[in-house]
């Protein structure tokens, strides 16, 4: 059973613990997650396509890697674990940097998410149970897809494209 630390609204303190099953379905239980935006040295952005077997947002494009922070795990440990599990990258010291912080609040869950960035050209090893595709997108292509078919991206990635990723390319 996965256990998550519960945190304050501003993410400044751990205030309890709860199983994943309770956190998902109870938006009053704020927990932590991490995500990684992986950029190719030429500037393209790596995205993963979520497996059709996923309960949440199956078949949609999302950040290269990400997931929940387990109870007792640091953000750094969680982001390195997710990178290794999902796309086969063992991050070296100094490769990851904090990029931005984003809160997700909806009827399903409440997450405080720390987003990291790194530059990596691959090769990658895709976790096939979780992902169905993994590829780099140019920002020209992302802008076009986002304007024409935003529904191909997870709602969180749509928000990140609008608030953080596409504006940095302007």
Neighbours of 58 (CB within 10 A): 12
For the record, the structure tokens of 48 come out as 């993963």
10 Å CB burial of residue 128 (0-12, 13-18, 19+) is exposed
Domain span holding position 86 = 3-169
Q: What is the pLDDT of residues 67-115, one digit of tens each?
A: 999 999 999 999 999 999 999 999 988 999 999 999 999 999 999 999 9
Q: How many domains does the chain have?
A: 1
CATH code at 50?
3.90.79.10
Q: What is the pLDDT of residues 23-67, one digit of tens each?
A: 999 999 999 999 999 999 999 999 999 999 988 899 999 999 999
């Amino acid at each position: 059973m996965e256990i998550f630390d519960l945190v304050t609204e501003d993410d400044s303190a751990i205030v309890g613990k709860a199983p994943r099953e309770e956190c998902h379905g109870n938006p009053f239980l704020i927990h932590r997650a991490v995500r990684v935006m992986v950029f190719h040295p030429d500037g393209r952005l790596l995205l993963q396509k979520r497996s059709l077997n996923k309960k949440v947002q199956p078949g949609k494009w999302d950040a290269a890697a990400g997931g929940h922070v387990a109870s007792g795990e640091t953000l750094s440990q969680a982001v390195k674990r997710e990178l290794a599990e999902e796309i086969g990258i063992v991050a070296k010291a100094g490769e990851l940097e904090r990029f931005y912080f984003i809160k997700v609040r909806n009827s399903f869950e409440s997450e405080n998410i720390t987003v990291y960035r790194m530059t990596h050209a691959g090769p990658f090893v895709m976790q096939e149970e979780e992902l169905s595709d993994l590829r780099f997108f140019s920002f020209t292509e992302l802008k076009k897809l986002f304007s024409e078919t935003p529904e191909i991206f997870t709602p969180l990635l749509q928000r990140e494209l609008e608030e953080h990723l596409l504006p940095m390319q302007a």
